[in-house]
Structure 1
Amino acid sequence: INMVAIDKGMPKLMTLKGILEAFIAHRRDVVTRRSIFDLNKARNRAHLLEGLSVALHNIDEIIELIKSAANPAEAKISLAAKTWQGSVIKELIGDRDMAMFKPEDLPAELGLQASGDYQLSQKQAQAILDLKLHRLTGLEKDKIFDEFNELLERIKHLLDILQNPDRLMQVIRDELIEIRDNFANGRMTEILEHKIDLTLEDLIAQEERVVTLSHGGYVKAQSLSDYQAQRRGGKGKAATKMKDEDFVDQLFVANSHDTVLCFSSTGKVHWLKVYELPMASRTARGKPIINLLPLEKEEVINAILPVSEFNDEQFVFMVTSSGTCKKTSLTNFARPRKGGIIAIELRDGDKLVGVEITSGEHDIMLFSANGKSIRFKESDVRAVGRTAIGVRGIKLKDDEVVSLIVAEQDSPILTATEKGYGKRTALGEYRAQARGGSGVISIKTSDRNGKVVGAIQVTDEDEMMLISNKGTLVRARAVDVSIIGRNTQGVTLINIAKGEKLVSVAKIAETEEEDAEGEEQVTEE
């Protein structure tokens, strides 16, 4: 058997015998160091108990000296300067060698002398001054003497271990036997006669994980068990800690064996397994997703979509800045490739704007930079193969698509312009029409407003982040934005400085609440 192991700080290829010898040498070192530490600790404690025993034997003189001292410092000096009767220590030690029990740094003139006198050290004098009166009772005196005797035996035992190699090996042997008796159990794995082909995924336990992607491109995963259930009214826990210029853009719960489809700005799709995402604590930022994928220069990830099963009942809906829409069956993305594959063919200057997983029965909404929008049935877009180009979603002239929304429920649509203006408009005001039309006005793009930078569907509970080209971030509540008609200019969302423009609006995937570890609050009705 050949194994690589660290021996004395260096990796070595070792045989079974070599490993056992290295382990025994390591255990010798551990037990020796531990015994030296315990010996010094026992000697220091025995030294203090010696002093207390001498004090109890000379208690009347000790009390008289302390009473006559002007202050504790003077009493300490007087105790250490006076010579005391040390016959009690002789009786306690008996025929044992006194040098065995002295601390190594104790000067020879201190402690028990050949004449039977005893000279206290500064530490012993301080211990006598700290002695409480109840320790003067007969029972407490016996406890001090008993502890002193136990320490003497302990010191003798430790010295035997350090001086006798056979005794040292016996300690190592006894400790290994104790570990075996307390912790040994039967083999948990099953040895099979036939080989089973296992993949890395087979060795990873299935568990629910919380995946977060920040606006700055940092991704991480956490175990769902990190989030304990709280009663109604609890403060909650922050899912991740971001820098001031970053925030959580996407958050979802997925199984560790689920696939994450990563769509880039160049129209490519890459694959990651949830278990491949870096595990991190709630307060960590995670790792840049560009470090996990083979992306080209200036290629960025626009969206990540969790997929637990690739089936024919779901579709990937994509839209480009030129207004091209494409709907492809989810099964077309079931076979991962190392460098990714083309999800949608992009012409020169075109880029992928949005990607969503749909059921085939939603309403699709596209929003352009010049304030136009169109709403049409998803069924108007025929499902095509992965290599197909797609169809026209909205007719544009000197314009480009900036946002894709898969309409859900009846929540209003919030639009924002580059000069900091915006509004919420009821979903019902966007009437459904045929795909490929010019659409209707979503917001006026006057000189005051500038062009549209984005649109999102929000509820009253949602929060949004407004981002300028100078790095300014403003967090706002959607409910604070007025709901007005389509053909209007909107209200102020953010005050833009001269030469500054709003470049993006995004719905925050979680609210920023204080981290209340283990705290539960109940709101009274």
Structure 2
Amino acid sequence: MTNTISIESELKKSYLEYSLSVIIGRAIPDVRDGLKPVHRRIMFAQHDLGNSYNRAYKKSARVVGDVIGKYHPHGDSAVYDALVRMAQDFSMRDPLVDGQGNFGSIDGDAAAAMRYTEVRMARLASEFLADIDKNTVDFRPNYDNTLQEPVVLPTKVPNLLLNGTAGIAVGMATNIPPHNLGELIGGTIHLLDNPGCTIADLMGFIKGPDFPTGATIFGGQGLVDAYTSGRGSIKIRGVMEVEEKKGNRQSIVVREIPYAVNKSTLVEKIAQLVNDKRIEGITDLRDESDRNGIRIVMDLKRGSIPDIIINQLYKFTPLETSFGINMMAVVKNRPMLLNIKEVLSYFLDHRREVIIRRTKFDLDKAEKRVHILEGLRIAVDNIDEVVKIIRASASAVEAKANLMERFELSEIQAQAILDMRLQRLTGLEREKLMEEYAELLKRIEYFKSILENEDVLKGVIRDELMEVDKTYTTPRKSELLRHDLDSIDIEDLIADDEAVITLSRRGYIKRTPLTNYQAQRRGGKGISGVQTSDGDFIQNFMLTTNHKWLLLFTNFGKMFKIKAHQVPEGSRYAKGAHIANLLPLDKDEHIATAMSLQDMSSERFFLFVTKRGMIKRSPMDLYQNCRTTGLKAVNLKEGDELMGVQEVNPDADCILATRNGTAIRFNIRDARPMGRVTAGVKGISLRGDDEVVSAVTTSDGERFELLTVSEGGFGKRTHIEQYRIQSRGGKGILNMRLTDKTGSVIGACLVNDTDDIILLTSGNKIIRMKVEEISLTRGRATQGVRLVRMDEDVNVAGFDLVMDPTETEEEDTED
């Protein structure tokens, strides 16, 4: 009859067995020696081969063959990969294998084939296998029951923390960073002497991880959490320094990189960021690393700020990484999450067991030798009678029996007498025999004291640890800072200076310090500005500061939000970078207007104005969360485009100025607050092909005059009392009398006598003048005065206001 088995229970049972096999037998190290089975088998196989640090190297293939043939029932590539890593000084804090040949590089280069490389155990590895032949650890059958392999190595080194480990099992993982041997032994001895010490006490000795590649560790609360609970996260930063070069130039040099970072990949990442202009200011990138250490050199443009570029490198590249600590280890065949005190306690327990078992082994051996020496001493003292008994015996068996009977000897003692050479009868040999006997008695007394007295046992453990410390400890490689990493805002390194943002019709944008433009007298020709291509001209021209948000609104009604300092800086003559490098614009989409803000709250409002006279007032907080792909700011009717956006006070009045010289003034409260994705209400009724060119509000303090500028270079300054308040949606009144000489209106703004204005022509000339030099007109319907002289076919393309200028006035200049 066939037995019925539940598939559910069978799957649970089989998968549990599989997971335990992976956890115990492959992925998670033993807490005692800090080794996974493959590493333990590699070291034991080399011990069997006699491949110690003071012997000649052996082919790696020989070692791998012994490991997979005797102990490790897996593929040779897995064993060789583990062997290679044990020899890499950039992977292991203290390598356990001494390799000869190509064992890979920090650039990710693979090691040479195992038939080409040679290995032997590192000197430190001898401390892992010391006394293994003295019954210090248990052995178990290998996979085919033909040989015995150790369950654990009798190591004198706290290797779980020394070299760390990483492994992914079934349902759990481990990730333990490497540490400094001297610090570990200091903490271990402190715990040995003070079993009740706290983790904080241990952290006085064990400062934190110590990576083979150096770098700087920020061991704040994350490190405390890791050492206290077994889990935590730390930040690691590469080490960079600034070198001064000839010609007032500088270079950034990377000296150390975070643990497990591929150097070649890091260099490629930096190059990509430079090419994509996400990091600006680097003119050349070279990897000058050699056998003496890492050296990645980045030459900087003259005038670049190294601190800004360094922090960009930390932000965008693996030069700053996180290391998640997860101290999972196998304890008595069970995976456990351990804190640092538990890890060291289990190691000390292991050392106690090893020393006790070794002592019992040595005691037993010494007592057996003393037993034999006691028999030999009897024989030497009665040598004539012994010889007589032996000569009278018919056989060796009879001689042994006669000796045992005559002198009350054991069989072992009697056999030793029969095996004794005649040279032992000399006076010198007899003296040596007695010295050996006396020495053994002392050793037996010492061994018994270790087994009987806990203080003596601790002394042995302490002495052995101190000897390891004296022989193998090396200076710390990683600098440890006992605080969390506070991310440095790049803005903290950028002065909040005033700047001019210019954006051409074809989409070229740049940022120029305001100090590049000096005040001139009215009527001057101006100084050279942006060098644009034929048919292009500056469309947006605004003043801001480097720390403010730059809000870019497109003609399609979308909003983009970036910091002003993210706009590439250019000289007064530079063309700038294309806006497509900063924003994802659609076909035929361009920036309609730009504005800058420090913060956005629900108490503040945007006023949206379209070319067809529609307006919309919306709270700013609706636009706070702007994605990199942009945000829909306003719904537009077919054929309409967004003309401009500005911040408004609900108590203020709004004046809309049109291209054909009309204007309307109404109170902002006539436009009720609306949601983000709405079209708004009518602000002015336009005639024919007229369109809105400017929208200004009266909330600018004492600025009670409206300055209207035409494309022909004329300007008209009129007191706003000349514009009566009307109902929203009306046709408005005459604002400026236009002629062929004045051309159409390009915009308007509120000003007072203390202001300056900057004009930009389509011929790329820039002129700055004081508002007080522009005559205040008595009437409203006038053409105004000439502001700038221009060549034929050149128009005023844009202008902006400079409030409370501080620059000194210069005479007319022309570049």
Band the TM-score falls in, shorter-chain normalisation: 0.5 to 0.7
Separation (CA, whole Å) in 1 of partners of 2:691 and 2:551: 25
Kindly indicate whether residue 552 of structure 2 is the aligned counterpart of residue 262 of structure 1. yes
Kindly indicate whether residue 749 of structure 2 is the aligned counterpart of residue 478 of structure 1. no
Cross-structure match for 2:678 = 388
Letter in 2 for 1:12: D
Cross-structure match for 2:108 = 13
Separation (CA, whole Å) in 2 of partners of 1:204 and 1:494: 40
Tell me the secondary structure at the aligned position of residue 496 of structure 2: strand
Cross-structure match for 1:69 = none
Higher deviation after alignment, 452-461 or 386-395:
452-461
Cross-structure match for 2:610 = 320
Please report the TM-score for the alignment, with normalisation by the length of structure 1: 0.53
Kindly indicate whether residue 360 of structure 2 is the aligned counterpart of residue 360 of structure 1. no
Separation (CA, whole Å) in 1 of partners of 2:573 and 2:794: 31
Cross-structure match for 2:376 = none
CA RMSD of aligned residues (A): 4.5
Separation (CA, whole Å) in 2 of partners of 1:502 and 1:242: 14
Tell me the secondary structure at the aligned position of residue 752 of structure 2: coil
Letter in 1 for 2:483: E
Q: Which of these residues, 699, 702, 710, is aligned with residue 417 of structure 1?
A: 710
Cross-structure match for 1:340 = 630
Cross-structure match for 2:664 = 374
Separation (CA, whole Å) in 2 of partners of 1:264 and 1:494: 30
Q: Deviations over 1:276-320 (max 9, x none)?
A: 445789998864444211122343323333444432101111111
Separation (CA, whole Å) in 2 of partners of 1:349 and 1:475: 36
For structure 2, the residue ranges without an aligned partner over 5 or more in a row are: 1-88, 92-104, 112-211, 215-254, 257-288, 296-474, 517-527, 811-815
Kindly indicate whether residue 502 of structure 2 is the aligned counterpart of residue 214 of structure 1. yes
Q: Which of these residues, 759, 774, 785, is aligned with residue 491 of structure 1?
A: 785
Q: Deviations over 1:152-208 (max 9, x none)?
A: xxxxxxxxxxxxxxxxxxxxxxxxxxxx99xx99733537xxxx9x9xx77656566
Tell me the secondary structure at the aligned position of residue 108 of structure 2: strand
Tell me the secondary structure at the aligned position of residue 738 of structure 2: coil
Residue pair 1:414, 1:457 contacting (<8 A) in 2 also: yes
Cross-structure match for 1:403 = 694
Residue pair 1:320, 1:401 contacting (<8 A) in 2 also: yes
Q: Report percent identity of matched pairs.
A: 29
Residue 379 of structure 1: how far off its partner (Å) = 1.2
Kindly indicate whether residue 727 of structure 2 is the aligned counterpart of residue 459 of structure 1. no
Letter in 2 for 1:337: R
Q: Which of these residues, 724, 727, 732, is aligned with residue 434 of structure 1?
A: 727
Residue pair 2:531, 2:573 contacting (<8 A) in 1 also: no
Residue 422 of structure 1: how far off its partner (Å) = 3.0
Separation (CA, whole Å) in 1 of partners of 2:489 and 2:785: 55
Residue pair 2:637, 2:679 contacting (<8 A) in 1 also: no
CA 1:2–1:306: 2 relative to 1, 3 Å: farther
Separation (CA, whole Å) in 1 of partners of 2:693 and 2:634: 17
Q: Which of these residues, 251, 257, 261, is aligned with residue 543 of structure 2?
A: 251
Residue pair 1:455, 1:505 contacting (<8 A) in 2 also: no
Q: Within 5 A, what are the aligned runs for 1:301-312?
A: 301-312=591-602
Q: Deviations over 1:237-273 (max 9, x none)?
A: xxxx954679993233364xx6432212222101224
Residue pair 2:604, 2:620 contacting (<8 A) in 1 also: yes
Residue 403 of structure 1: how far off its partner (Å) = 1.0
Q: Deviations over 1:417-465 (max 9, x none)?
A: 3444331111221222221111111111245544222222233343334
Residue pair 1:318, 1:354 contacting (<8 A) in 2 also: yes
Q: Deviations over 1:18-59 (max 9, x none)?
A: 9999453799xxxxxxxxxxxxxxxxxxxxxxxxxxxxxxxx
Cross-structure match for 1:72 = none
Residue pair 2:557, 2:635 contacting (<8 A) in 1 also: yes
CA 1:348–1:12: 2 relative to 1, 3 Å: same
Separation (CA, whole Å) in 1 of partners of 2:571 and 2:740: 47
Separation (CA, whole Å) in 1 of partners of 2:603 and 2:756: 32
Residue 472 of structure 1: how far off its partner (Å) = 5.5
Residue pair 1:262, 1:269 contacting (<8 A) in 2 also: yes
Cross-structure match for 1:110 = none
Letter in 2 for 1:300: H
Q: Deviations over 1:73-128 (max 9, x none)?
A: xxxxxxxxxxxxxxxxxxxxxxxxxxxxxxxxxxxxxxxxxxxxxxxxxxxxxxxx
Q: Which of these residues, 561, 567, 571, is aligned with residue 271 of structure 1?
A: 561
Tell me the secondary structure at the aligned position of residue 622 of structure 2: helix
Residue pair 1:254, 1:306 contacting (<8 A) in 2 also: no
Residue pair 1:466, 1:502 contacting (<8 A) in 2 also: no
Q: Which of these residues, 483, 488, 502, is aligned with residue 795 of structure 2?
A: 502
Separation (CA, whole Å) in 1 of partners of 2:213 and 2:682: 74
CA 1:333–1:419: 2 relative to 1, 3 Å: same
Q: Deviations over 1:352-400 (max 9, x none)?
A: 2221122322221110111111111111111101111111111111111
Separation (CA, whole Å) in 1 of partners of 2:549 and 2:603: 17
CA 1:293–1:26: 2 relative to 1, 3 Å: closer
Aligned length: 332
CA 1:280–1:244: 2 relative to 1, 3 Å: closer
Letter in 2 for 1:209: D
Separation (CA, whole Å) in 2 of partners of 1:25 and 1:495: 64
Separation (CA, whole Å) in 2 of partners of 1:291 and 1:272: 13
Separation (CA, whole Å) in 2 of partners of 1:284 and 1:328: 37
Whichever of the two has the greater Rg, that structure is 2
CA 1:187–1:424: 2 relative to 1, 3 Å: same
Letter in 2 for 1:458: V
Tell me the secondary structure at the aligned position of residue 370 of structure 1: coil
